[in-house]
Structure 1
Amino acid sequence: MTAKPDTRHRLKLILAEAALETVPREIWGHPAVYKHARRRGKPPASMLLDRSIHHQAMKRLPGAEKRGRPDIVHITLLEALGSPLNKEGLLEVYVHTLNDYVIFIDPSTRLPRNYNRFVGLIEQLFDEGQVPPEGKPLLWIRPMTLQRLLQEIGATYVILLAEDGERRRLRDVAEEALQHAPATAVVVGAFPHSDFSEETRRLATRAYSIYRGEPLETWTVVSHLLAVTADMLNII
């Protein structure tokens, strides 16, 4: 008989300041946005901001280098939700967006692998507040700061993975996270460029860097973290 997983080792993973938002009002009238909205038959307010489509329009936006990359969340969530750690019931994943919304995710959720279908799903989530719109939700979204999220999920020990953090081996980071679990939250940035806000940095108990070379993609960091953690728990 297979032993049940020890939920005391459950890890909380937060994709923070994620570059995930609907098209902001300031650029609704830009030709690139207008044409895209007309082609899709949707109002700009109901579409996700995507740099690959709205690059020219985004030049008008403040902090543009940190915005408009839904693919980062998509790929990273596929990695996390498909991980052995999640399959064993030892992972909670949350998405905190740059504009202070939080997406809550049922661990059993199977996201579409196709990017366009994922975009449609998240657009529906922003419109309806939950997916599916009726019945038990698999995804639901609420306006919420990162600080409030940490309080709500009982995360009192916060490990921030940042390029300029203290150099630490990933295995040591995972061990420290497990020592304080289930009160540990590991926070990983889900934006393409720039850095964490000071508000986010102030919430961290520890800030670590796991690699001193070129910046790693969010999904690479998460994939390695979850694999190392699963190995330490003898899951893989």
Structure 2
Amino acid sequence: MMHLILADSELEIIPEKIRNHPAIKRSKSLILDASLHHTAMKRLQQWQRRGRPDIVHIFLLIANESILNKKGMLRVYIHTRNDEIIYVKPGTRIIKNYNRFKGLMEQLFKNGKVPPEGEALMEMKEGSLKDLLNELKGKKILFSMKGKRKRIEEAMEKDVICIIGGFPSGDFLSPVHEMVDEIVSIYDEMLPAWIVEMEAIVAYENKFIAGKL
């Protein structure tokens, strides 16, 4: 089983500090989005990396459509910069339309789960990255340029927890380097989260299920 974590992801409700800014008032979205709220975000600390729900969306779409997920061997979690954890129920279909996806995230922040009634397809709880890692079993691999360069297959084990940064630039906010068993670098430059995700999923598929397809 692969557990895939998007850590310190830049997914958040618009902070109170900028809600009266004209750029915010013109927008109907409650989710901070750099493509819409860029001018207002300059009042926030670390504004250059914030407001990236698109990273979460692409990450979930790729995981959802992977062979590994279709085989029932993938579990996906989103950890946010504000220490919220989103649990995604296996088999959940991810909305492909970006604006509708943001609407779904608004519901999740408001109600703690979606749909608000009945069995939850996604559920949000307060919790740090360390809290999440303590719930899971398997070798903990962090993908980072600070790690040792090696082929991903060499690091993979049958039960594995892969941690990928959910931000466009910079480094992890959580002290994740202290929480893992191995830090792996797969390229000399910083790659988008979804590229690292694809490489990790395919490496796992090749090592453990390729002969069973």
In the alignment, does 2:123 pair up with 1:160?
no
Checking the alignment, whether the CA contact within 8 Å between 2:129 and 2:174 is kept in structure 1 is no
Residue by residue, what CA displacement relative to the aligned partner does 1:90-124 show, whole Å, maximum 9, x if unpaired? 11110000110000001111011110010001111
Residue by residue, what CA displacement relative to the aligned partner does 1:64-105 show, whole Å, maximum 9, x if unpaired? 122110000100110011111011111111000011000000
CA distance in 2 between partners of 1:171 and 1:15 (Å): 20
Checking the alignment, whether the CA contact within 8 Å between 1:65 and 1:194 is kept in structure 2 is no
In structure 1, the partner of 2:186 is 210
Tell me how far 1:200 sits from its aligned partner.
1.8
RMSD: 1.4
Which of 108, 117, 122 does residue 139 from structure 1 map onto? 122
In structure 2, the partner of 1:103 is 86
Tell me how far 1:198 sits from its aligned partner.
5.4
* Greater Rg over alpha carbons, structure: 1
The within-5 A match list for 1:214-229 is 214-229=189-204
Runs (4+) off by over 3 Å: none
Q: State the TM-score, normalized to the length of structure 1.
A: 0.85
The within-5 A match list for 1:1-236 is 10-36=1-27, 40=28, 47-155=30-138, 157-174=139-156, 177-178=157-158, 181=159, 184-197=160-173, 199-212=175-188, 214-232=189-207, 233-234=209-210, 235-236=212-213
Q: Which amino acid aligns with 1:204?
A: V
The alignment of Structure 1 onto Structure 2 pairs a total of residues equal to: 211
Checking the alignment, whether the CA contact within 8 Å between 2:152 and 2:186 is kept in structure 1 is yes
Q: State the TM-score, normalized to the length of structure 2.
A: 0.94
Tell me how far 1:171 sits from its aligned partner.
2.2
Checking the alignment, whether the CA contact within 8 Å between 1:18 and 1:95 is kept in structure 2 is yes
User: What stretches of structure 2 of length at least 5 have no aligned partner?
Assistant: none
User: What stretches of structure 1 of length at least 5 have no aligned partner?
Assistant: 1-9
